[in-house]
Chains A and B, each alone.
Chain A
Amino acid sequence: MRQLFSFSLLSFFSLCFAFLATAADYHEQLVLRPLPLSALLASFNFRSNTTLSAFEAHNFRFFPRSLGQILQHAGTRELHLRFSLGRWDAESWGARPWNGAREGGTGVELWAWLEADTDEAADHQWLTLTNALSGLFCASLNFIDGTRTTRPVMSFQPEGDHPNATDTNTHLLYGVLPHEVVCTENLTPFLKLLPCKGKAGIASLLDGHKLFDASWQSMAIDVRPVCPPGGEGECVLEIEQTIDMVLDIERSKRPRGNPIPRPLPGHELHCDTSKPYHSGDTCFPADSTANQDWSLSQVFGKTIKGTCPLTDPNVPPVCLQVPDARSVYISNGALEKKNQDGVSRCFEIEPETTDFELLLPSPEDLPADNLQAGQEVENIVKPETPLLYAERSFTGHGQERGGVQTILRNPSPDKEVEFIYMESLPWFMRIYLHTMQARIEGTSPSDHDPLIQEVYYRPAVDRARGTQLEVRMRVPAASTVFLTYDFEKSILRYTEYPPDANRGFDVAAAVITILSPNKNDTRSATYNLRTTSLLCSLPTPDFSMPYNVIIFTSTAIALAFGGMFNIIVRRFVAADEGPEVSVGSLKQKLIVPLRRIFARVKPGPR
């Protein structure tokens, strides 16, 4: 809990900066947080803003011109773009950074509020936007077509202030590409949007080799208009770029001296000696304590190249969340400041510093006098428990039909969680809504109050539109709820399968938006999370034989038609009646015309 406080404190401070200190229009911050099981969460946050009047006058200073022009052209009021990879392991890493507000499902996710008079105009602008962003970010965003676009009604709320917006002219569109592989070519344009282009400041740590090697990473771009509270002052357009990544410290450090992954020798393993089966030849890896020593250059491969000269000097560029008891070594030209909460500290880097290095020694190396007698010091900040755990998987077998089961667990002993569960499914998964049910583990569905409170469902239309399912439901305190429904897999035309048809089709992550327990506060979502994406295998035809199938079927039809035609058209006669059909008569029939032809071709002597 303390830790959440510190995180929200940081966000609050940065928000305050964004609101009040409009003179300093850009700041950046890196928050490092060691996680259990030798993982390290690195949260990069870059925020800049421009006044709306300057934006509309095409006056760009910190706001990237390339993106700004796209937004203006497509009439976009608010934009959220996510590139994500991997899976956030909530069981060991706890709650998500930014309360899940800056993460996306695997692949690319895009949602935006567009200003348009009609739905068709909004669709047209959405097409413009996705195509332009596709070019800007080198991603296949142009494949977000009608079948992958939905208009969520409950799940997403605008983050910015839209004083002039009405419900009729602002359209929320949401598109997702679960199959997209996020990689280096998406990072380069992302960094180019920054004022320092990744040459200086914390962005100099970002490197495709490390970022896309992470256990989990999410790149986010959020553009939203922010108006000062109370109505005085001018509204600003704020762009926030966020990169969150969870690095496996052991894996990141590997390339130094031992580039090939090899099993550690037995005496170097950190074992959990409390396990009953622990012995000389069995080892359960111990968590948290192992591999908690690292330096920036070890895990990122380089050091921070000074500070970005444009950044707000009041915001410390690097923060580290470890208990105050642990000591941290930093390079010259930097200043350590411990925060009040006792679990975080920030580092201020002097402008002329060229390299900033940070080293966190292993807790075993701590001087003995730091340990107070009889009290065990925690080496890392204990992760906060998330409000909800969600796991989604397929049930059933075979390529004909199946089911989706989402297991939602509320860890809180006394608080009920209310949330919106949103799925946007491809059209070839035909879901049967009448089979949807929610039940608490260990009971039958009829035993308790309805868990599902409201359902918004827009069924799929073949080849035109995907399924959109939004369910407002609740999970009582300390219980596990199973949400299940059936679906049928349809067989596609053979040209509609991708080249790797038997790999299966990616199904986008379900988005869970936990609502604020305060009923009046409908706008703010307190916490977001996404399940993993799924892989749905459809029945496949034989791709090698379209010609054969056409020929075989045509033959079968021709046989039936020919047989019928024969019987209907021809007359019956006794076997010995009618014209003779024999080899002789056939020969005669052939020879007579042939002779005639020969006679014409070879005129004999007269």
Chain B
Amino acid sequence: MNGGKATLGRTAGLYLGAAVLRLALFTLFPGLPDLLTGRVEISTPVTSFKRLQEGLFLYNHNVSPYDGGVYHQAPLLLPLFALLPSFAALPVFTYLLYIAVDLLSAHALFQIAESGEPGASALYTSPRRDKRWSGFVIAALFLFSPFTIATCIGRPTSVFTACAILHAVVKAISGAPVGAMVALSFAAYLSMYPLLLLPPLLLLSYDRQLPGRATKSLAQFAATNIGVVASVLGMLFSMSFLITGSWEFLPSTYGVQLTLSDLAPNVGLWWYFFVEMFDSFRSFFLAVFWLHLSAYVGALTVRIRRQPLVVLTLLLGIFAIFKPYPSISDMSLFLATVSLYRHVFPLMRYTFLVASIIMYTTFLGPAFYHLWIYAGSGNANFFYAITLVWGLGLSLLVCDLTFAVLRDEWEVERPEMVGKEIRQI
């Protein structure tokens, strides 16, 4: 599996295989897409495909989709899906769109892996960098991960965000900071939380500037690129305004994420906490949760300054646990980026435990949800407990990866400590 030389033909075959598998699942099991769309683990209020269809229906019938409590997704998705042939009549075009987005994400991962950035960034070269997986393996791991396949069949709009984030990274690595910023703006426009990825992405593109067009001062570089993000976002917002005719999409898309007014169950930690929260403390804890989510950005960016891609990966993991409406599509993106760090896997301490927790929750989550909602023999605590375990397992993975990366850095300073017992003071 390790280090295979990826030829163009093999990669094309891989993509073809993944596409055929998805198309087969779409067409051979006609009930499967709707079944997965209805799963709370895949569809959240801000990404659900069924809600997108409702928004599209209202949009096509000249009712503002934002003057209601169902549609909380970005306005530009509406004309995009309105351009496609009607889903009810020709669903295959929607299927093809989602398959294409998955393949684009996989190709971005392929390019990131082939660039060598995970093992050797501009400021730091890992002594273990040779022990890595090729882009082919990374792309295959992403494309054939059950989480990715389930996400693709369930068709949440979070796949667009994931694709934009990965392409922002690819552009940053290949020395195109403007492209990276534009891609990140799209991701932020679609789901808001990717805006928190801006600091590490800025550093990554600063480190990877092409020698000919390099800006020396980091402050100047940052100011320029923040300006790019702001102007692209401004453009996207004004296009949305033109499409919907009012600014009411802002509270309905981003406001819902900020205030968590829709408490639909999901794999995250927020929903049950705010179901049970006392009314007078609701806004306080909303602020605390958002502060907690954004607190990691600065700390990780500073501490792991030499490897910005690591920071991006860790932040994706943290978002997959702690953002307001997480789903397994965030998880599949995080796991795919974790696989870029094959070289630090030997330094990780809890891989078996994390793998077991992920398997355990993957199987018990749907079962407990069924017990609560359908069988009535369990209550909400069953599913809540599983989301807690899921969150703990993933946070263990995030911490473990941080540990492994930092130890890898430390062993450059202390080469004699490789394989020795260490502790932290």
Contact = CB atoms under 8 A, between A and B. Distances in A.
Interface of A: 397-401, 427, 430, 432-434, 457-463, 490-495, 539-542, 545-546, 549-550, 552-553, 556-557, 559-561, 563-568, 570-575, 578-579
Binding site secondary structure of chain A: mixed
10 contacts: A397-B374, A430-B70, A432-B50, A432-B54, A457-B63, A542-B380, A556-B395, A559-B392, A571-B424, A575-B423
Nearest to A432: B54
Interface in B375-425: 379-381, 384, 388, 391-392, 395-396, 398-399, 402-403, 406-407, 410, 414, 417, 420-425
B54 A549 contact: no
A494 B275 contact: yes
Interface string B276-308: 111100000000000010011001100100000
A153 B274 CA distance: 37
Contact of A459 (B63, B274, B396): B63
Contacts of B360: none
B236 interface: no
Contacts of B40: 400
A556 B392 contact: yes
A135 B400 CA distance: 64
Interface in B221-251: none
Contacts of A550: 273, 276-277
Binding site secondary structure of chain B: helix
A462 B392 contact: no
A556 B272 contact: no
Given A564-B296, A564-B402, A549 B261 contact: no
Nearest to B281: A550
Interface residues of B, number: 63
Nearest to A401: B38
A434 B424 contact: no
B394 to A, nearest CB: 9
Contacts of A430: 69-70
Given A460-B68, A542-B379, A568-B299, A575 B402 contact: no
Contacts of A490: 262-264
Contacts of B292: 557, 561
Contacts of B177: none
Contacts of A575: 420-423
A493 B279 contact: yes
Contacts of B300: 568
A459 B372 CA distance: 28
A567 B422 CA distance: 13
Contact of A572 (B53, B278, B379, B424): B424
Given A460-B69, A542-B381, A559-B395, A553 B424 contact: no
B336 to A, nearest CB: 21
Contacts of B175: none
B399 A552 contact: no
A82 to B, nearest CB: 28
Contacts of A546: 276-278
Contacts of A545: 276, 381
Contact of A568 (B54, B68, B402): B402
Nearest to B87: A434
B326 interface: no
A552 B373 contact: no
B95 interface: no
A570 B277 contact: no
Given A539-B380, A549-B276, A574 B417 contact: yes
A462 B256 CA distance: 10
Contacts of A557: 269, 292, 322
B257 to A, nearest CB: 14
A556 B277 contact: no
Find the residue from B68, B392, B422 having the highest chain A CB count within 10 A: B68
B402 A541 contact: no
Contacts of A397: 374
Contacts of A561: 292, 295
